[in-house]
Structure 1
Amino acid sequence: MELRQLRYFLKAKELLNFTEAAKMLNISQSTLSQQIKQLEDELHVPLFNRVGKRINLTEAGEIFGEYALQSINRANEGLLVLKDLKNLNAGKITIGVIYSMRILFARTLIEFAKQYPNIKIQVVFGTTKDLLEKLNLYHFDFILTFHENLKEPHLKCQTLLKANMVLVTAKKSLLANRRSLSLTEVAKLPLALPFSGYSTIQFFVESFGEENLEPNICMEINDIPTLFEIVKTGNWHTILSDTSVNDPEVVGIPIDGKNMKRSIMILSIKEVYEKKAVKKFYELLKSMHAKNLE
């Protein structure tokens, strides 16, 4: 059953004359008759009574007409929705974001929402592990996360920005005025770190291991604002990317080492169709963070 056949049927139903209906549709009468006959054969029921050159609807034709009209209307509505999607007047995007990107991401989110107010946006914050799992289940259009060593061939990877890893300490701390710290110095400090599900702590455990250092990890907490509250006491320190540090009572001190800079990536699934709204979000992200891609 084709939409074309439904349109032909509805025009014939309206005019109750195959010749006039064919003229209105700019097709031959034989084509119209043939298409309606194919439709009747598929439905296994006649839609018109044919008496000479006159036609009238059967009971089945009357009933089917209502559904045929609904189908045409729904198809037309679908075309309008697709047109709106293309013109960014409708649609929805779902994004997964690591916690350390929340500040920079919020700026882009606000700007995108201003430019495209009709696009609905759903944002989920989580750890790299959780976000990757959900991305692979098609829960997100894309995610923003640390993921330097991409091994999944089905993922599309775009570098968004480079983030420096820093020791976060209280402004009242004796360390606050240091220009940098060595990894050896950091290992000796009492540390409150993100929970083990976070990519940041995994990164530093590996970094400490390469230097044969045993860090003094006193706490693991799965909430960045709570980590800041702990750090602000001056009794503990944490390690985060500099993109996370926005509290006026703490400072981020660079950690020496060639591997102390990490890449925040835009990850999506290669085989999935990319919505126009998603592409626009990519463009905005990259333009707003271009200066951090060094």
Structure 2
Amino acid sequence: MELRQLKYFLKAKELLNFTEAAMALNISQSTLSQQIKQLEEELSVPLFNRIGKRIKLTEAGELFSEYALQSINRANEGLLLLRDLKNLNTGKIAIGVIYSMRILFAKILIEFASQYPNIKIQVVFGTTKDLLERLNLHHFDFILTFHEELREPHLKYQTLLKANMVLVTAKNSSLAQKTNISLNEVAGLPLALPFSGSNSIQFFEESFGQKNLVPNVCMEINDIPTLFEIVKTGHWHTILSETSVNDPDVVGIPIDGKHMRRTIMIISLREAYEKKAVTKFYEMLAKI
């Protein structure tokens, strides 16, 4: 059963004349008659009584007309909804973001939500591992994360920015004036690090290991604002991406080494349909 057949049927019901209905629809009478006949055959019941050149609805036709009209109306509503979706007047996007991107991401989120207030946005912060798992389950339209590992063919990768890894210390710390610091120096400092599930910490464990260094990790915390509070005491330091550092009472000191600069990527499912709202969000992220 096709929508056009329902439209033909409803016009014939309205005018009770195949010739006039065909003219109103700008089709031939034979086409109209043929399509309604096919509809009746599919339904296995006549919709019209044909008496000479006159037609009259059967009881079945009268009952069916209510549902045919509902179908046409619902299809039209669906068309309007898709137009709204295309024009960014409705819709929803879900985004996964690593914790270290929350400051930069918040700026883009505010800009996007202000420009497209009718788009519902769901944001989930997490570790790279958790976000990738949920992306593979189609929970997100895309995620923002560090990713240096082998790329998987079913995923689409777009480079967003490069970020230095820094030692974060109190603004009044004796280290605060340093323009850079070696990994050897960092290993000897009392450290409060992000929780061990963090992709950043896995990265640093490998970096320390390559130099046979054992860092002095005193505590692990899975909340960056809390880490800042610990660092501001002056007794501990932490290691984060420079994109995380925005507290006026702490400073980030770049860590020496060509591998201390990491890539933040936009990752999505390669074969998934890309919503227009997602495309617009990408355009705004490109401004970072």
Shorter-chain TM band:
over 0.9
- In 2, the alpha carbon distance for the partners of 1:82 and 1:213 equals 57
For residue 63 of structure 1, what is the aligned residue in structure 2?
Answer: 63
- In 2, the alpha carbon distance for the partners of 1:146 and 1:34 equals 61
For residue 292 of structure 1, what is the aligned residue in structure 2?
Answer: none
- In 2, the alpha carbon distance for the partners of 1:203 and 1:237 equals 17
Gaps of 5+ in 2: none
Q: Give the C-alpha shift of residue 192 in structure 1.
A: 1.0
Cα deviation 1:71-129 (Å, max 9, x = unaligned): 11111111112222222222211111111001001111111122222222111111111
For residue 156 of structure 2, what is the aligned residue in structure 1?
Answer: 156
- In 2, the alpha carbon distance for the partners of 1:109 and 1:52 equals 67
Letter matched to residue 175 of structure 2: L
For residue 230 of structure 1, what is the aligned residue in structure 2?
Answer: 230
- 2:214 aligned with 1:214: yes
- In 1, the alpha carbon distance for the partners of 2:152 and 2:89 equals 34
Letter matched to residue 139 of structure 1: H
- In 2, the alpha carbon distance for the partners of 1:232 and 1:44 equals 79
User: How is 1:160-171 mapped onto 2 (pairs within 5 angstroms)?
Assistant: 160-171=160-171
For residue 52 of structure 2, what is the aligned residue in structure 1?
Answer: 52
- In 2, the alpha carbon distance for the partners of 1:235 and 1:107 equals 31
Q: Give the C-alpha shift of residue 44 in structure 1.
A: 1.2
- 2:246 aligned with 1:246: yes
User: Helix, strand or coil: the match of 1:196?
Assistant: coil
User: How is 1:1-294 mapped onto 2 (pairs within 5 angstroms)?
Assistant: 1-287=1-287, 289=288
Percentage of matched positions with identical amino acids:
82
User: Helix, strand or coil: the match of 1:129?
Assistant: helix
- In 1, the alpha carbon distance for the partners of 2:241 and 2:279 equals 26
Q: Give the C-alpha shift of residue 172 in structure 1.
A: 2.2
Letter matched to residue 134 of structure 2: K
Q: Give the C-alpha shift of residue 25 in structure 1.
A: 0.8
Letter matched to residue 41 of structure 2: D
- In 1, the alpha carbon distance for the partners of 2:249 and 2:71 equals 62
Cα deviation 1:3-44 (Å, max 9, x = unaligned): 010000000111111111111111111111111111111111
TM (normalized to structure 2)?
0.97
- In 2, the alpha carbon distance for the partners of 1:205 and 1:57 equals 79
TM (normalized to structure 1)?
0.95
Gaps of 5+ in 1: 290-294
- In 2, the alpha carbon distance for the partners of 1:284 and 1:167 equals 29
Letter matched to residue 63 of structure 1: L
Q: Give the C-alpha shift of residue 149 in structure 1.
A: 2.5
Letter matched to residue 110 of structure 1: I
Q: Give the C-alpha shift of residue 148 in structure 1.
A: 2.1
User: Helix, strand or coil: the match of 2:180?
Assistant: coil
Count of matched residue positions in the alignment of Structure 1 and Structure 2? 288
Q: CA RMSD in A?
A: 1.1
- In 2, the alpha carbon distance for the partners of 1:160 and 1:150 equals 17
- In 1, the alpha carbon distance for the partners of 2:256 and 2:272 equals 40
Letter matched to residue 183 of structure 1: L
Q: Give the C-alpha shift of residue 150 in structure 1.
A: 3.9
Letter matched to residue 79 of structure 1: L
